[in-house]
Amino acid sequence: MDNPTAWWILAGFFVAMELASGTFYLLMLAIGAVAGALAAHAGLQPPLHWVAFTVVGGGAVIALYLSRRLLGKRTADDVRHDNLDLGATVDVSGWSADGVARVHYRGSDWSARPVRRGPLHTGPHRIAGQDGNVLLIEPLPAALNPAPADSKAQHHPG
């Protein structure tokens, strides 16, 4: 391709495909196509357009890959900060027969289910995860050990 317009069209194509994929690798190739267009604008021979495209685009792809591999290691704490709902409390007033509860959280009703199998408790629960639009909850210690009834309310004949 010795026409700069063809390189610009290729760069636009890579950007459009990047919008569909979301990987950033096609964006790196678009940067390479821009380098090819600039080489064409500079009047370099067509083989040098391809060299500019390959060196800049390929180098950007390799740099992105290495940066994701070396710097992209995420800790559990990093992942936790992605979902600000984790750790929030909700109140469970009852469970359905299929083990799902409706809880009020952030101004709307949500479906919730327990993280682990076991007895279903009502009362305060902590959000431990999310599966789509279903909250994964676990009981707080107060729900596991309800407070004893008020001794004044109980009358024991003496």
Closest CA to 28 of 58, 5, 48: 58
pLDDT attached to residue 144: 63
Ramachandran bin of 119, using left for φ above 0, alpha for ψ from -120 to 50, beta for the remaining angles: beta
**Please, which residues have CB within 8 angstroms of residue 154's CB and are 6 or more apart in sequence?**
none
pLDDT tens-digit profile of 88-132? 899 999 999 898 999 999 889 999 999 988 888 899 999 988 888
pLDDT tens-digit profile of 138-148? 998 865 665 55
pLDDT attached to residue 132: 85
Confidence band, pLDDT 50/70/90 cuts, at residue 26: very high
* Domain ranges across the chain: 4-70, 82-144
**Which segment of 10-19, 29-38, 59-68, 144-153 scores lowest on mean pLDDT?**
144-153
The CATH class of the 82-144 domain is mainly beta
Is-above-0.75 flag for pTM? no
